[in-house]
Structure 1
Amino acid sequence: MSRNPERKYRVVTSFQRRIGNPLLKRLPIQTLLETTGRKSGLPRRTPVGGRLVGREFWFVSEYGGRSQYVRNIQADPRVRVRVRGRWYTGTAHVMPEDDARARLRTLPRFNSAAVRAMGAGLTTVRVDLTD
């Protein structure tokens, strides 16, 4: 991709917003993160790749605090996650102190490769599931 990180960010997020995410959200097996829009108050669903570990769901945000869903989490950490077709409620925690690159090695390989290739400012997110 580009050597210019700002251009890379604009290209990747534009593609995800217009093409990638709308297609992926329709797949019944796709893992989804549902946050509450910090301005609208409406549910916002974003495809993510992560792993359920006991009562926690872990994933890595490609753009950390620049990601809209991370900003939504910071405003209201109550979220829902759809894993293998089942919805769970929980509380999300943005974890900048966690080694996101090391965390990606423990998550699904295909998604992790895409996050490493496209992302800048990787940030780990943990969701503590309540049901």
Structure 2
Amino acid sequence: MKRRRVDKFRIVTFVQRRLVNPVVRALLERGVGVPGYALLETVGRRTGQARRTPVGDGLEGSTFWIVSEHGRRSAYVRNIEANPRVRVRVRGRWRSGTAHLLPDDDPRERQRLLSRRLAARINAASVRRLGTDLLTVRIDLDD
């Protein structure tokens, strides 16, 4: 059973890193709105360089929510653990904030609460389907 989970992680990660994320990231960086997506910028834990990753649009007031598909195995989550200061480009605007990992939060319930728009529901469904270890991340955005 564990072997199958590792294979799923590797396949999903490959498709995201090599095919989906580069296209979505390029569109978002150029200011093209991609429904249901935002761009998360973390500081690389080893390089110290900015790392940008497309994530679901989880903006709720002054809080930004993310449900990580692969939990602490996600590179951006490991970057957050090393340095919780992040930026999010959401709806065409960069916003800074501090990220917090919430291992005790129910990520499926969090997605249900955030899935009011169709694009958010589609993103949440793909995260649940493709994810191997869901983890909630809360970003408290600066004013």
Return the TM-score normalized by structure 1: 0.95
For residues 42-64 of structure 1, the C-alpha deviation after alignment (integer angstroms, 9 at most, x for no partner) is 00000000321121001100000
The question of 1:113 aligning with 2:125 is answered yes
1:1-131 aligned at under 5 Å gives the runs: 4-27=4-27, 28-29=32-33, 30-107=37-114, 108-131=120-143
4+ residue stretches of structure 1 with deviation over 2 A?
A: none
8 Å contact from structure 1 (residues 38, 75) kept in 2: yes
3-state DSSP of counterpart to 1:48: strand
Structure 1: 5+ residue stretches without partners? none
Q: Which amino acid aligns with 1:76?
A: N
Distance 1:62 1:21 in 2: 14
Distance 1:120 1:18 in 2: 19
3-state DSSP of counterpart to 1:4: helix
Q: Which amino acid aligns with 1:16?
A: Q
Instruction: State the identity %.
Output: 58
Shift, 1:106, TM fit: 2.1
Give the count of matched residue pairs: 129
The Cα RMSD (Å) is 1.1
Structure 2: 5+ residue stretches without partners? 115-119
Distance 1:117 1:5 in 2: 12
3-state DSSP of counterpart to 2:45: coil
